[in-house]
Structure 1
């Protein structure tokens, strides 16, 4: 999801950069004359730091944050805050949102400042390994309890083991199961030949490995033209191979601009698969509009949250539909998946402080480990490796009634509690 750390940068190099960024902040905070914030026990409220991709290539994921932040802070205020034993009373809960600029180095820098300068009580970090992994690393360094949301499990686990950091999202195994599940439903109407577009990044490599293992066992043939870099402008070679091998099922894990380039060229060159199931690139309604014409019609993808989910806010009791209606009414924008996932991250942070009832970092960490919470995006309960997988279903973009494009739930076999809202359109309508 989003731009990656440079390919030639090893994990050791990256961790060195994280360490240098944190060390620089540590030195700066110790310079005489620089103002320091009061300690938590003196300020009269709980302070939760939130590293958010407000700008940069991941800014779409961070767009709902100001709205969600204001809504949750207001709701917590109505509840009177949380009881903290160091104060002997209920105190307000405040969130300090800082922009990571979608940069791993910047994410490490702002996380260090939140810990050393702002002296936060808990860290919340969201969206993609580019943001969540470096923040988790900084929190491990400074023994700061940290909740991560929206980073795929596989690349996050690689940065562990963790003592202070936790993560909630989906695994690559889960998303590939959803994709294959959707194909199984229409496989009899195809030749079961699948063409893949996997780039030369961490996602592309792990998806190739998993599909090479899973697809033959299910009777599918995989046609793989090989890895390619971000920003590829000509997919003619891949398209020629797909046509030659008679590919009828297409899948990819691409950023939105690269998918738009590939899909438009496929139409121009006469390659028309019966189904196209794409990860990562089909996140926002605006991305569907950007494809132009009817090119978004019938595209299938993963759904990690929707306005149709059957859960409720643990803070206010409102449903996903009610939250989305409020979002649209107050912002004039169509609902999108980050609205609910961001809200759920705030739910988790509030729940931890409400149960911990202390500013002691180890006890706050233990409260995260013992979390058993039903959030707006589903149940959260961390395992011994500090992660929790959220429910994942399959969706399809179709023409909307009041909006250009709407996302419907068309596959739910792994999570039947999340009801289907439409039957899958098959084959793709050209």
Structure 2
């Protein structure tokens, strides 16, 4: 690891963010957080000592190889003491694994914790040494979605599963750590045809299987393109579901197309993990969730994004670890500090001492739905808030039809 020219008195926080490629939109919240924090997060106190801080970013290029290269450059060329990242199904594990190999602490988010932890080969008795994560779990998704299914009518429902044959589908149907066992424990019957390969070319088999089983609710981890295909086929066959819940890609606001067609997200129910209405504020500067969202919209001219709160919280955790480590220049001490972190952040309370497994802190989930808005084409309404104290419900659940 490269030492700073001032004898280690400068602490570098490395940022792996997609700035090009298919995940570039996921890199926007991280890039904005960096721009907002660079003039604020310039020095950190650690006991009687004080250190200069610099934030340095590298583009993952939305690929696993790009993420690994970004980590290597941040550690080798920039002397990063800790790395933060948000990424997708293949890119985030690659970045975290590269940090594990390099022996540098990493904090990440936006990825169900079971996939992050067990999917990368950890076990409850054999955790990771360097890599830490905060997010919700597949079981928490199932609990929130079950709330929505039951709100749509009836306590026990037959639910069609639009799951692919990749990691999203495999972990959703996992017999022990997935979505399916938690949903079944709530009394719901899941209809799960064979997983499809992305991008889907024909989902008519799923439409027919759901219709045959009487499943008028569908749950999904599909891309916008594949969900749009499913909705079109279902409408064509007169089998439009009463409700669709989807756990993937719906953190981003949809908009009406130039031709006036409704987007695939319209009236689809999803996860709510961060909004301007969440009753949280940053441990770094006291900024509230509402103020952070307003700052983003004012600076970019675009609608606020759910991952924005998680992105800002990454730097809160990194700064807290550097402040509380026995020696912030020692990677092992910084990793140990993350592992004992209990912190109130703009993304909510994070507690690595509480589990559910080593290396993981959880984020609370509510249920929402993309509904026609007043300020924007579509806005994320909170329709179920049982798990998030202080978050108001802003609308009732609308039928998909």
TM-score, normalised with respect to structure 1: 0.84
Kindly indicate whether residue 382 of structure 2 is the aligned counterpart of residue 422 of structure 1: no
Query: Which deviates the most, 59-68 or 328-337?
Result: 59-68
Q: Check whether the contact 2:85–2:107 (CA below 8 A) recurs between aligned residues.
A: yes
Query: Hey, what does 2:35 align to over in structure 1?
Result: 70
Could you list the per-position Cα deviations for residues 100-149 of structure 1 after superposition, in whole angstroms to 9, with x for gaps in the alignment? 11111221122112112221111112223422222222222222122122
Query: Hey, what does 2:346 align to over in structure 1?
Result: 376
Give the deviation of 1:227 after TM superposition.
0.7
Give the deviation of 1:393 after TM superposition.
1.0
Give the deviation of 1:214 after TM superposition.
4.1
Q: Distance in 1 between matches of 2:12 and 2:88?
A: 23
Q: Check whether the contact 1:152–1:172 (CA below 8 A) recurs between aligned residues.
A: yes
Query: Hey, what does 1:10 align to over in structure 2?
Result: none
Could you list the per-position Cα deviations for residues 183-209 of structure 1 after superposition, in whole angstroms to 9, with x for gaps in the alignment? 122332x98221111100122122123
Query: Hey, what does 1:264 align to over in structure 2?
Result: 232
In structure 2, list runs of 5 or more residues that go unmatched. none
Could you list the per-position Cα deviations for residues 26-56 of structure 1 after superposition, in whole angstroms to 9, with x for gaps in the alignment? 9xxxxxxxxxx65364375211111112222
Q: Secondary structure at the match of 1:298?
A: coil
Give the deviation of 1:320 after TM superposition.
0.9
Output aligned runs, 1:19-418, within 5 Å: 39=4, 41-42=6-7, 44-77=9-42, 81-83=43-45, 89-158=49-118, 159=120, 160=122, 161-188=127-154, 192-209=157-174, 210=178, 212-286=180-254, 292-293=261-262, 296-356=265-325, 358-382=328-352, 383=355, 385-418=358-391
Query: Hey, what does 1:20 align to over in structure 2?
Result: none
Distance 1:364 1:41, change over 3 A: farther
Q: Check whether the contact 1:302–1:395 (CA below 8 A) recurs between aligned residues.
A: yes
Give the deviation of 1:235 after TM superposition.
1.5
Distance 1:247 1:145, change over 3 A: same
Q: Secondary structure at the match of 1:48?
A: strand
Q: Distance in 2 between matches of 1:312 and 1:96?
A: 24
Hey, which of these two has a bigger chunk of helix by percent?
A: 1
Distance 1:90 1:213, change over 3 A: closer
TM-score, normalised with respect to structure 2: 0.89
Q: Secondary structure at the match of 2:311?
A: helix
Q: Secondary structure at the match of 1:74?
A: coil
Query: Which deviates the most, 162-171 or 206-215?
Result: 206-215
Q: Secondary structure at the match of 1:63?
A: helix
Q: Check whether the contact 2:4–2:10 (CA below 8 A) recurs between aligned residues.
A: no
Q: Secondary structure at the match of 1:394?
A: strand
Query: Which deviates the most, 309-318 or 121-130?
Result: 121-130
Aligned-residue Cα RMSD (Å) equals 2.3
Give the deviation of 1:219 after TM superposition.
3.5
Q: Which structure: larger Rg? A: 1
Q: Check whether the contact 1:288–1:296 (CA below 8 A) recurs between aligned residues.
A: no
Q: Distance in 2 between matches of 1:134 and 1:339?
A: 22
Q: How many residues align?
A: 387
Q: Secondary structure at the match of 1:406?
A: strand
Q: Distance in 1 between matches of 2:373 and 2:5?
A: 49
